[in-house]
Structure 1
């Protein structure tokens, strides 16, 4: 098992590195005949031959965006995989059960109404206010959906999905009202949240996302065996010595943290947590010991490819990345529903 996982991960990481190098070459800026790899090497080594514009484009724009795509793709895929394992259902992803909508709503409230209370907060809270609000929105939504869909320790999938639909509808209705109230600058920010974009990538944001990823993965990535046991049922998992309640609480809180952080920095990017686990499940069945760590790499690959298309296909403009992932995810969602229909 461990040898196979190491081979799969190594191959996937090599593919990710190859795509990362390819993404560096994608863009409209002309480096004067120099390779982007050469320019990046000169920036890292501190060479005086690099102009400020070249350094800005290759490091602060292109590389920062590529790294953000890798981080957010990985985080969203692991969040979706963890939710599916906990709910024992392939439809239980953060965006489909309303978690993304909850995070987006709280971020939107902060954007439009934050000016009324932002000045009363310490500087460090002002800087991360949207991130904190998005996390709170994701956490409250996760708890609400879990409470509504769980009775006597059993999760009703139909109620879970209907709860997610209701919360998403309410959340986006409130966002629509905030759009009506917003000023021009706030309207641009809200449009960014609704459509999703990695155009605001910075190394500071990447540092925060990396810290969130390390914290979350240290507690989640090795939970594959526990999620496999939970597929048998919570009572059977408890007989195997699995602390079900502790694991569920960890997944709820960490999923909220991961999704909230991603929404705070990139807006609404849906379906990543649905596409990646579904494809991996086709290959590796329902073995979360393989699916969970593999989703961390495959999510990065998916979002990196999607973002490269979004910023190059209509260059110098860009297509919102949330639109691209929705185009990819909708057929997968339909395929899952058809499989469920045929298995009934």
Structure 2
């Protein structure tokens, strides 16, 4: 397969993302043309555009669109890093248990601490759900890393198994909390577990965009060591890579990225699995190309999925996690079939 130069690929991916961004601003219960959405986005107080259109585009659709870009970019980027670290195209960002821990933290906030969450929101402007989701993911990652640590280094295999076990335990506790929840709590918990981008606040958008920029910068610094790691840990050590420090750094940074994504948008699956593998098919395994393109394609994929979620059952809205699962599950099955001889 012919592979285009990296600047061309970034330009094409960025152009697609820009088109989807404009389309997202025009998509919703109130249909707007692309021209109207752009004018409303750039409009001032005396632009002649109806005030309600300016409000819808600037205060509702733009924050949601930017949140889509940030969360999709983080999931795609973290998925590429995890697949490189585990040297397995079937790995995804939740493989170290951070998604399960974040889900458990959010469930505790919804079912057991709802009154406290309202007080915290009014006092500090911070919702208890995203705070507990992030803390749950961070604590899970710390526990997984401690379980996988041993004298002289750490074991990725033990971390993987610990992540699976902790994820299973987390969802068992979530099942118990679901049994104890009332109707409103149960609805909130269900919607959050399916993933939603509708409630993104300016603080969530700013945090997510900042996290995406920081992660991309830090991960790109490790693109060369990740390429060396693809040859095997022994070979990477011979090439001068501190493998243990690299694994520790990548796992902790991935936990930050996935924790932030889950905290602001809920459980959104398959983006971190599908996107890096798709990009790898187009560009090869070089992480200098793979990482930025995974961020761009992840943002575009989640933005497209969110547009489908808003339009398929309009004026009702589907959780975006359902759309990503419907798109990602067949791809995952195809990937399993393709890889069955080597698994």
TM range, normalised to the smaller chain?
A: 0.7 to 0.9
What TM-score comes out, normalization by structure 2 length?
0.88
Deviation for aligned residue 1:32: 10
Aligned residue for 1:190?
189
Could you give the per-residue CA deviations for residues 7-50 of structure 1, whole angstroms, max 9, x where no partner exists?
211111011111211222222215699722222221xx333634
Equivalence for 1:80:
79
Residues 1:20 and 1:77: Cα distance change in structure 2 (over 3 Å): same
Taking the TM superposition and a 5 Å limit, the aligned residue runs for 1:1-344 are 4-30=5-31, 35-42=36-43, 45-47=44-46, 49-115=48-114, 127-145=126-144, 153-156=154-157, 163-343=162-342
CA contact (8 A) 1:60 1:202 kept: no
Aligned-partner Cα distance in 2 for 1:197–1:125: 23
Equivalents in 1 of 2:294, 2:34: separation in Å?
Answer: 37
Q: Is the 8 A contact 2:120 2:128 kept in 1?
A: no
Quote how far apart the aligned CAs of 1:123 are. 7.2
Q: Separation in 2 of the partners of 1:32 and 1:5?
A: 33
Question: Offset at 1:273?
Answer: 0.4
Q: How many residues align?
A: 338
CA distance in 1 between partners of 2:237 and 2:160 (Å): 26
Q: Structure 1 144/332 Cα, relative in aligned 2: closer, same or farther at 3 Å? A: farther
Instruction: Check whether the contact 1:131–1:260 (CA below 8 A) recurs between aligned residues.
Output: no
Compared CA separation, residues 86 and 125, structure 1 to 2 (3 A): farther
| Deviation of the 1:153 alpha carbon | 4.7
Instruction: Note the C-alpha offset of 1:143.
Output: 4.2
Q: CA deviation at 1:304?
A: 0.6
Three-state SS of the structure 2 residue aligned to 1:136 is: helix
| Structure 1 range deviating more: 67-76 or 201-210 | 201-210
After superposition, the Cα gap between the structure-2 partners of 1:161 and 1:249, relative to the gap in structure 1 and judged at 3 Å, is closer
Cα shift at 1:140: 3.2
**How far off is 1:56 after superposition?**
2.4
- For residue 215 of structure 1, give the secondary structure of its aligned residue in structure 2: helix
Partner-residue secondary structure (3-state), 1:343: coil
SS of 1:167's equivalent?
A: helix
1:188-219, CA deviations, whole angstroms, 9 ceiling, x for partnerless residues? 32122211111112222101111222222221
- What is the SS of the residue equivalent to 2:314? coil
CA distance in 1, matches of 2:34, 2:342: 57
Q: 1:90 to 1:225 in 2, by over 3 A?
A: same
In the alignment, the residues of structure 2 paired with residue 94 and residue 56 of structure 1 have an alpha-carbon distance, to the nearest angstrom, of 36
Distance in 2, Cα, partners of 1:323 & 1:120: 32
CA–CA distance in 1 between the matches of 2:20 and 2:233? 40
Could you tell me how far apart the structure 2 residues matched to 1:338 and 1:170 are? 29
Distance, in Å, in 1 between the alignment partners of 2:299 and 2:130 is: 21
What do the CA deviations read for 1:298-341 (whole angstroms, capped 9, x no partner)? 00010011000001111111111111111122122222322332
Question: TM-score, length-normalised on structure 1?
Answer: 0.88
8 Å Cα contact 2:94/2:258 also seen in 1: no
